[in-house]
Chain A
Amino acid sequence: MRDVKSDGAAWHADAEDLRAYARGELEAPRLWSVDTHLAACAPCRQALAEAGDPLAVDLGWERLDAELDAPRPGPVEALLTRFGVADHIARLLAATPVLRASWLGAVMLVLAMTVASVYAMDSPTVFLALAPLLPLAGVALSYGPALDPTYEMTVVAPLHGFRLLMIRTVAVLVASLGLNGLATLALPLYGLHALSWLLPGLALTATGLALTARLGPVLAPALVSGVWVALLVVAEATVHGTPLPFTAPGQGVAAAVAVVSAVLLHRLRDRFDASPAHPLSTDFAHRSTS
């Protein structure tokens, strides 16, 4: 072996290999033998310390130091990065109130109760009526001064408000639609019909967001929810059988509303730049002034 030579009773690592080892460029299997040897041989460790580039060693320490310092990401963040989400996006999402375990737990509880009531009443209407409201509520609650304690810092950050909103909306939608989907799986009796909350859910969320640009983060989702409930009450009272929104034409309308609202939302995106004249910030500014 070239890398480990006999020197009387002991073996010692080759100087060139030690330099390569110090640079982190020595390759296996030579790396393994030097590795093992270094653990047992003080003179070679000394030689290694001298062979290393002091700057590289400093950088290495700094890197190690920084790694040790870096916060250990919470469960949500760790999961997101594992799924390939960039770490800074994962941090933004971890700061989204409705992605917390407490919120997700509450949603699951509501869904479980709703599924139970479907079996009790032998009709999926309650589930279909409620499920579209959950993503709307989740998105509404992840934006604005009510639930974001750092709202004032977020507003003045250069990161574009609309971009942050979209990052959070996509995450909340994925979580919310995922939970709804799981609940749907618990209703195999109704087949695809049990999935007819999906298009209304997207329509309500998109409409709620688009109206937020005009009406603010409280009034807009409240109004949209109100219209949805009123629509269902009227549909229940006038038509027997499947309520209108869950029929094929109703689904078509929901899809159309979702698309139109999404386009509108995109056109209004600059209003989410927390631009000063925005209803979002006026409400906030009134809270305390001095």
Chain B
Amino acid sequence: MTTAPTVSASGLTVRYGGRPALDDVSLCLHEGVTGLLGPNGAGKTTLLRVLATAVPADRGSFTVLGHDPGTAAGRQEVRRLLGYLPQTPGFHPDFTAFAFVDYVAILKELTDRAGRHREVRRVLEAVGLSDVRARRIKRLSGGMRQRVALAAALVGDPRLLLLDEPTVGLDPEQRMRFREVIAEAGEGRTVLLSTHQTEDVAMLCHRVIVTAHGRLRFEGTPAELTARAAGRVWSSTERDPGARAGWRTGMGTFRNVGDPPKGAELLEPTLEDGYLLVLDGEPAEVASV
């Protein structure tokens, strides 16, 4: 990348009790959509919270477009550049979709009424909620609420979008719609999106980061992650005990990743295969596949 990174972090460490939730994570984020993949407990949410200035790092530091959130003034600037969708977004259930996004816009310092309302209409349109904007949030479905939260993250045209598992709990059609909105948001902005769906990454992201146990395991393009599994995926009729991971496919055969035995029938690798291999060394996580 030739452009300066939007976010550069070095040595981010967060401990809860004695356990490190984030362990010496250094990374750079550039314009476009970056996927953050990892199993539960990998530190994805903690990383997003730290970058969103919701939780402090015990060690390490980061900047957003040159602003250092370690100082009060820098933190304020970072928050002005930020759109954040928390893992479990909360709502005021009696507010309408419009009123809620309007409320978040006020928290983002948009005080001019006409301009703010225009902006709220824009983001509700972007997430496809224009028709239900006057409905109270308690009367909206889960997928719609998730979109209200995304609209709240998008309001004010933030340069940096942090989305914590935005596609979780959505049906396939909603997920497609969400991906479209996020892909659009990624044009001219920096988006970091955590997910445990490799599909999201394959379809959306130009960069991917894999974390496990609070540590960075991989950073690169989705193609590079897929390439990690080149020549390391094979099919067999029985579960291959030598494989790092193996599962029965719809065809009845087993798909294995790891070090193939001689003469094995090699398969075209996918992003998921690469992800599993990168996670390898975390037997508890891989065994459950």
A275 and B75 contact, Cβ closer than 8 Å, known pairs A88-B113, A290-B40: yes
Residue A84 at the chain B interface, CB threshold 8 Å: no
Instruction: Please determine whether B21 and A273 come into contact, CB atoms closer than 8 angstroms.
Output: no
Chain B 49-93: CB-based contact to A (< 8 A → 1; otherwise 0)? 100111111000000000000001001100110101011111111
Query: In whole Å, how far is A60's beta carbon from the nearest beta carbon of chain B?
Result: 13
Q: Give the residue of B75, B93, B107 whose beta carbon is less than 8 angstroms from that of A154.
A: B107
Instruction: Please determine whether A276 and B87 come into contact, CB atoms closer than 8 angstroms.
Output: no
A66 and B114 contact, Cβ closer than 8 Å, known pairs A153-B89, A158-B109: yes
Residue B228 at the chain A interface, CB threshold 8 Å: no
Dominant secondary structure of chain A at its interface with chain B: loop
Query: In whole Å, how far is A70's beta carbon from the nearest beta carbon of chain B?
Result: 6
Return 10 A-B CB contacts under 8 Å, by A number: A69-B121, A71-B98, A88-B106, A94-B95, A152-B90, A153-B104, A157-B108, A274-B54, A285-B54, A289-B45
Instruction: Please determine whether A69 and B55 come into contact, CB atoms closer than 8 angstroms.
Output: no
Residue B103 at the chain A interface, CB threshold 8 Å: yes
- B residues near A8, Cβ cutoff 8 Å: none
- A residues near B106, Cβ cutoff 8 Å: 88, 91-92, 159
A286 and B53 contact, Cβ closer than 8 Å, known pairs A88-B106, A157-B108: no
Instruction: Please determine whether A149 and B92 come into contact, CB atoms closer than 8 angstroms.
Output: yes
Instruction: Please determine whether A70 and B40 come into contact, CB atoms closer than 8 angstroms.
Output: no
Query: In whole Å, how far is A34's beta carbon from the nearest beta carbon of chain B?
Result: 28
- A residues near B133, Cβ cutoff 8 Å: 69
A149 to B98, CA, bound (A): 17
- A residues near B134, Cβ cutoff 8 Å: 69, 71
Residue A228 at the chain B interface, CB threshold 8 Å: no
Instruction: Please determine whether A288 and B45 come into contact, CB atoms closer than 8 angstroms.
Output: yes
A94 to B86, CA, bound (A): 22
Chain A 60-93: CB-based contact to B (< 8 A → 1; otherwise 0)? 0001001001110110000000000011100110
Interface centre among B54, B86, B118 (most CB of A within 10 A): B54
Residue B96 at the chain A interface, CB threshold 8 Å: yes
**Across the A-B interface, the 6 shortest Cβ-Cβ residue pairs:** A276-B56, A149-B90, A157-B107, A71-B99, A158-B79, A88-B106
Chain B interface residue count, CB cutoff 8 Å, equals 53
- B residues near A152, Cβ cutoff 8 Å: 54, 84, 86, 89-90
- B residues near A154, Cβ cutoff 8 Å: 107
- A residues near B72, Cβ cutoff 8 Å: 270, 273, 275
A95 to B89, CA, bound (A): 15
A276 to B62, CA, bound (A): 14
A290 and B121 contact, Cβ closer than 8 Å, known pairs A91-B99, A156-B54: no
Instruction: Please determine whether A281 and B55 come into contact, CB atoms closer than 8 angstroms.
Output: yes
- A residues near B89, Cβ cutoff 8 Å: 150, 152-153
- B residues near A66, Cβ cutoff 8 Å: 114, 117-118, 121
Instruction: Please determine whether B46 and A289 come into contact, CB atoms closer than 8 angstroms.
Output: yes
Chain B 104-140: CB-based contact to A (< 8 A → 1; otherwise 0)? 1011110101101110010000000000011000000
Instruction: Please determine whether B95 and A95 come into contact, CB atoms closer than 8 angstroms.
Output: yes
Instruction: Please determine whether A156 and B92 come into contact, CB atoms closer than 8 angstroms.
Output: no
Q: Give the residue of B87, B102, B109 whose beta carbon is less than 8 angstroms from that of A288.
A: B87
Query: In whole Å, how far is B40's beta carbon from the nearest beta carbon of chain A?
Result: 5
Interface residues, chain B, with chain A CB atoms under 8 Å away: 16, 21, 40-46, 49, 52-57, 72, 75-76, 79-80, 82, 84, 86-96, 98-99, 102-104, 106-109, 111, 113-114, 116-118, 121, 133-134, 152
A152 to B55, CA, bound (A): 10
- A residues near B56, Cβ cutoff 8 Å: 275-277, 281
Residue A151 at the chain B interface, CB threshold 8 Å: yes
- B residues near A286, Cβ cutoff 8 Å: 16
Instruction: Please determine whether A290 and B46 come into contact, CB atoms closer than 8 angstroms.
Output: yes
- A residues near B121, Cβ cutoff 8 Å: 66, 69
- A residues near B94, Cβ cutoff 8 Å: 74
Residue A155 at the chain B interface, CB threshold 8 Å: yes
Instruction: Please determine whether B45 and A153 come into contact, CB atoms closer than 8 angstroms.
Output: no
In the complex, the chain A residue whose C-beta lies closest to that of B90 is A149
- B residues near A285, Cβ cutoff 8 Å: 16, 46, 49, 54-55
In the complex, the chain B residue whose C-beta lies closest to that of A148 is B90
Q: Give the residue of B57, B80, B92, B96 whose beta carbon is less than 8 angstroms from that of A95.
A: B92
Instruction: Please determine whether B53 and A276 come into contact, CB atoms closer than 8 angstroms.
Output: yes
Q: Give the residue of A63, A95, A277, A281 whose beta carbon is less than 8 angstroms from that of B54.
A: A281
A87 and B152 contact, Cβ closer than 8 Å, known pairs A153-B90, A156-B82, A157-B107: no
Query: In whole Å, how far is B113's beta carbon from the nearest beta carbon of chain A?
Result: 6
In the complex, the chain A residue whose C-beta lies closest to that of B152 is A153
Quick one: which of A208-240 are within 8 Å of B by CB?
A: none
- B residues near A95, Cβ cutoff 8 Å: 92, 95, 103
Instruction: Please determine whether B98 and A69 come into contact, CB atoms closer than 8 angstroms.
Output: yes
Instruction: Please determine whether A88 and B111 come into contact, CB atoms closer than 8 angstroms.
Output: yes
A91 to B87, CA, bound (A): 24
A152 to B45, CA, bound (A): 12
Instruction: Please determine whether B75 and A153 come into contact, CB atoms closer than 8 angstroms.
Output: no
In the complex, the chain A residue whose C-beta lies closest to that of B133 is A69
Instruction: Please determine whether A289 and B82 come into contact, CB atoms closer than 8 angstroms.
Output: no
